[in-house]
A = this chain, B = another copy of it.
Amino acid sequence: MKKKTTIYDIAKVLGVNVATVSRALNGLTTVSEATRKSVEETAKALNYSPNRLAAALKSGKTYIIGIIVPSVQSHFFASIINSIEEGLKGSGYGVLLYQTNESVASEIKGVKTLMEAQVDGIIASLSLETSDVSHFEEIIAQNIPLILFDRVSTSLKVSTVTMDDYKAGYLAAKHLIDQGYKNIGFITTSHQVMIFTERLRGYRAALQENGIPVFEENIILGGLSIKDGRFGAGKLMRGLNMPDAIIAGDDFTALGVIKKLKEIGLSPPKVGVLGFANEVFSAYITPSLTSIDQHPNEIGKECAKLFLKKIQETNQEQMIYNIVLEPTVVERQSSAKLFLLPLL
């Protein structure tokens, strides 16, 4: 293995000082054009590659930003990561990724790891398990830009990028009501995560506003998965106040709901079904699934923009921004009750 070229090698070849080489390489204006040229040529000739580590150690800036997400396997988070990277392109920032797999322990470890890696900022979305958020306090204390998105916490005074989840829940219920459904069940998670409680609040509001009773037994608090969807739907359809439409916490859960409904001969839109996240498959299953689009690409883009804005700030006036994006309903067959009317 050949020894790596450093700025000392370049300096030696040219008979100049390392400082000059450093300045030339970093495009500082205090270097003569001739010097810069020769430095650049020599650098190329010697196959020089800068050691960012050394620069980071000295300057305190790593040009790496840490991202903490529950999982990259979800389309939602994958899209966000993608658009964060996209939004960072050209800024010189790279992305260090940490997955929590929905575990707080892992999340704490992630914060620690990223801090030790001296990242210049952290963009994170909380795990389902997370309620105590004190592990994020250290980031704030160190004055490192922290941006929370989607699953955020009110106990942290940080910048956030979120959906209007209240509105998402409201829109979901309102859409089903507008389609003519009269009794709407809700399958969501039992975890005390704000996005879910907010959706539920929006759902309740929409029902009340339209004079539709809220049956507490039709709100199923459990997990979110295909299996949970089947289970929840089964439970709802066996209940006393059998709903004629079901909102599921995510599209996978909705998939389970649809499976179950098909089995018992109530294939949507006979019983309406609506999910959250607008996964790729949702447009292609049968019946296609109506879903709330949470615009992950927008979220990612805003996170990147916000980060780039925050690192510009002087340490004194760390501003807190709370960006709220609007959800939209993507109407598909699973909630198209109106189409059924002529057949009744």
Taking a contact as CB atoms under 8 Å apart, the answer to whether A94 and B96 are in contact is yes
Does A338 reach chain B (CB closer than 8 Å)? no
Does A62 reach chain B (CB closer than 8 Å)? yes
Does A51 reach chain B (CB closer than 8 Å)? yes
Within 8 A of B (CB), among A57-81: 57, 62, 64, 71-73, 75, 78-79, 81
For the complex, give the distance between the alpha carbons of A97 and B79 in Å. Answer: 14
Residues of chain B with a CB closer than 8 A to A51's CB: 57, 116, 118
Taking a contact as CB atoms under 8 Å apart, the answer to whether B50 and A116 are in contact is yes
Cβ-neighbour of A281 out of B56, B64, B99, B280 (below 8 A)? B280
A52-B116 contact, Cβ under 8 Å, with A57-B57, A281-B285, A285-B284: yes
Question: In this complex, which of A4, A113, A281 has the most chain B Cβ atoms within 10 angstroms of its Cβ?
Answer: A281
Residues of chain B with a CB closer than 8 A to A64's CB: 96, 117
A53-B49 contact, Cβ under 8 Å, with A78-B72, A143-B1: no
Residues of chain B with a CB closer than 8 A to A50's CB: 116
Residues of chain B with a CB closer than 8 A to A198's CB: none
For the complex, give the distance between the alpha carbons of A72 and B69 in Å. Answer: 13
For the complex, give the distance between the alpha carbons of A315 and B1 in Å. Answer: 8
For the complex, give the distance between the alpha carbons of A79 and B2 in Å. Answer: 36
Does A54 reach chain B (CB closer than 8 Å)? yes
Residues of chain B with a CB closer than 8 A to A97's CB: 81, 85, 95-97
Residues of chain B with a CB closer than 8 A to A98's CB: 94-95
A86 CB → nearest B CB, Å: 8
Cβ-neighbour of A49 out of B85, B112, B280 (below 8 A)? B112
A277 CB → nearest B CB, Å: 12
Q: How many chain copies?
A: 2
Does A141 reach chain B (CB closer than 8 Å)? yes
A83 CB → nearest B CB, Å: 10
Within 8 A of B (CB), among A35-55: 47, 49-54
Does A115 reach chain B (CB closer than 8 Å)? yes
For the complex, give the distance between the alpha carbons of A285 and B50 in Å. Answer: 50
Within 8 A of B (CB), among A270-287: 279-281, 284-286
Closest to A95 in B: B97
Within 8 A of B (CB), among A131-156: 138, 141-143
For the complex, give the distance between the alpha carbons of A71 and B79 in Å. Answer: 10
A123 CB → nearest B CB, Å: 13
Residues of chain B with a CB closer than 8 A to A72's CB: 72, 78, 81-82
A319 CB → nearest B CB, Å: 16
For the complex, give the distance between the alpha carbons of A284 and B254 in Å. Answer: 12
Does A255 reach chain B (CB closer than 8 Å)? yes
Residues of chain B with a CB closer than 8 A to A281's CB: 279-281, 284-285
Residues of chain B with a CB closer than 8 A to A81's CB: 72, 97
Residues of chain B with a CB closer than 8 A to A138's CB: 47, 49
Name 12 A/B residue pairs within 8 A (Cβ), A-sorted: A1-B315, A51-B118, A53-B62, A53-B117, A72-B82, A73-B79, A82-B99, A94-B113, A279-B281, A280-B281, A285-B285, A285-B286
Query: Given known contacts A94-B98, A285-B285, what 13 new A-B pairs fall within 8 Å (CB)?
Result: A49-B112, A51-B118, A52-B118, A53-B118, A54-B57, A64-B96, A73-B75, A85-B97, A96-B96, A255-B284, A279-B281, A281-B281, A285-B286
